Homo-oligomer: A and B are copies of this chain.
């Protein structure tokens, strides 16, 4: 069979491999390929092929007839120099697709079937639509709890698994959806100051205005090599790093790249995704935070309880000590929304400044207290007091400073965006409701998390009285067009509900 000359095409197609063939390429014609066919690209020595989706090129300036172009991701995967001879053929459908069809038909899959699926996904044998089919077939009530367990186990098995060599490795995770909820940056130094091992890695924001990694990046480097990360954790008992290049449960990352654009967030996938990552990261004890509120991810106490039980069942069967705490998700936590503003809140609390946001401090102490009680030497109910002592005494601040120094302090100090606009109360009354989604939307329009200083700074919270014309919050931005979009969105819908009288809803 004819070979083609490999050529890197400088196009970033994210997590989807794309191959390019000229329409008059003899291989294209004889194989009966179509645009969007899946093809296999083989090295001539015939090791594992790279799978890619085909785009057909009509322009000789882009690609010659005897060339095979590959997008940046696919080229990196094949890992051969430009000009190498390669062959292409129709990709065989992944063997595990049969199991996906059975799942679509409502059947229950076995551990081995989930293993087959994760194996093929890791090998890039699934197209995005095949992954979408798998995810939807598992969505909502589509997975038995044993299947969630199988999927979690299969996802852990497809990646590396860290071993810290200690019996107690703690972590915490919030299922997300609440702006400003930056508790990890307080919990980690408190817990580490107590001496517990808490190697915290976090993601960057994808749909929210800031993730822990984005916020920590305001203060320190977060993209650490695995070696440096390990060294810091051994010395400081903690880190606050970006987890993106650790190759832990890589199938989870691939599935998330399809879940996010679909806004799919089914309980089974959520539990499997979170627990697979934590187990792969070597955690032995885990605290899960489930905020509940009318505009949170989980909107009712009964849904939160169902989710809690699914976490517990799966964690128990995988040997993970797991506690779930259901928290108030009716409004943003803290004052700042956006990396710089959230980092400011965190540092105010660590510095015990009197004007630090009390709600974020209190929530962090509650969660840290529960984690401290994973320590067999801590008496039940005493965690909170210990956490507060560590914070009040400045030991948490000292630990945070040590972590920042170890990771590499950010030499410049980013400041809140200089374009500022207060958003005013349209009427007098009591603040009775928040729209978390709208607050996050405004902060993202303002530029968060890409522009670190952009976001929203809240001046009042649920239950407070405001007078018409008083500022509810201030929008910060760094660029004029972002600033305008955010101000327009806030003018249309502030995200606050103010009522003359009546109870707080939610």
Identify which of B12, B23, B131, B261 contacts A55 (C-beta below 8 A): B12
Using C-beta atoms within 8 Å of the partner chain, give the interface range for chain A. Answer: 35 or more
Bits for A58-86, please: 1 = Cβ < 8 Å to B, else 0: 11011000000001100000000000000
Identify which of B16, B30, B93, B263 contacts A481 (C-beta below 8 A): B30
Bits for A16-37, please: 1 = Cβ < 8 Å to B, else 0: 1010100100000110101110
Identify which of B12, B58, B130 contacts A56 (C-beta below 8 A): B12
Are B58 and A36 in touch, CB under 8 angstroms? no
- A27 CB, nearest partner CB in chain B, Å: 9
Q: Does A258 contact B (CB under 8 A)?
A: yes
> For the complex, what is the distance from the CA of A62 to the CA of B11, rounded to whole Å?
9
A11: chain B residues within 8 A (beta carbon): 20, 55-59, 62
Are A36 and B59 in touch, CB under 8 angstroms? no
A101: chain B residues within 8 A (beta carbon): 263
Q: Given contacts A10-B62, A11-B62, A106-B140, are A450 and B55 in contact (CB under 8 A)?
A: no
Q: Does A127 contact B (CB under 8 A)?
A: yes
Are B38 and A261 in touch, CB under 8 angstroms? yes
Q: Does A105 contact B (CB under 8 A)?
A: yes
A14: chain B residues within 8 A (beta carbon): 34-36
Identify which of B30, B36, B128, B130 contacts A479 (C-beta below 8 A): B30
Are A105 and B140 in touch, CB under 8 angstroms? yes
> For the complex, what is the distance from the CA of A16 to the CA of B16, rounded to whole Å?
14
A141: chain B residues within 8 A (beta carbon): 106
Are B10 and A36 in touch, CB under 8 angstroms? no
Are B30 and A15 in touch, CB under 8 angstroms? no
- A424 CB, nearest partner CB in chain B, Å: 26
Quick one: which of A33-52 are within 8 Å of B by CB? 34-36, 38
> For the complex, what is the distance from the CA of A389 to the CA of B202, rounded to whole Å?
78
Are B12 and A35 in touch, CB under 8 angstroms? yes
Quick one: which of A345-369 are within 8 Å of B by CB? none
> For the complex, what is the distance from the CA of A384 to the CA of B294, rounded to whole Å?
66
> For the complex, what is the distance from the CA of A89 to the CA of B106, rounded to whole Å?
39
A139's closest neighbor in chain B, by CB?
Answer: B104
A38: chain B residues within 8 A (beta carbon): 261
Are B140 and A104 in touch, CB under 8 angstroms? yes
A205's closest neighbor in chain B, by CB?
Answer: B32
> For the complex, what is the distance from the CA of A176 to the CA of B93, rounded to whole Å?
21
Q: Does A174 contact B (CB under 8 A)?
A: no
> For the complex, what is the distance from the CA of A135 to the CA of B132, rounded to whole Å?
10
Are B104 and A36 in touch, CB under 8 angstroms? no
- A128 CB, nearest partner CB in chain B, Å: 5
Identify which of B18, B56, B58, B132 contacts A136 (C-beta below 8 A): B132
A479: chain B residues within 8 A (beta carbon): 30
> For the complex, what is the distance from the CA of A425 to the CA of B106, rounded to whole Å?
41
Q: Does A137 contact B (CB under 8 A)?
A: yes
Beyond the given A38-B261, A128-B128, could you list 8 further A-B residue pairs with CB under 8 A, ordered by the A residue number? A9-B59, A11-B59, A12-B58, A104-B140, A105-B140, A106-B140, A129-B261, A133-B135
Leading 3 A-B pairs by shortest Cβ distance: A10-B59, A14-B35, A132-B132
Q: List 10 A-B contacts (CB under 8 A).
A: A10-B57, A10-B61, A12-B35, A13-B55, A30-B482, A32-B447, A104-B139, A127-B261, A130-B262, A133-B264
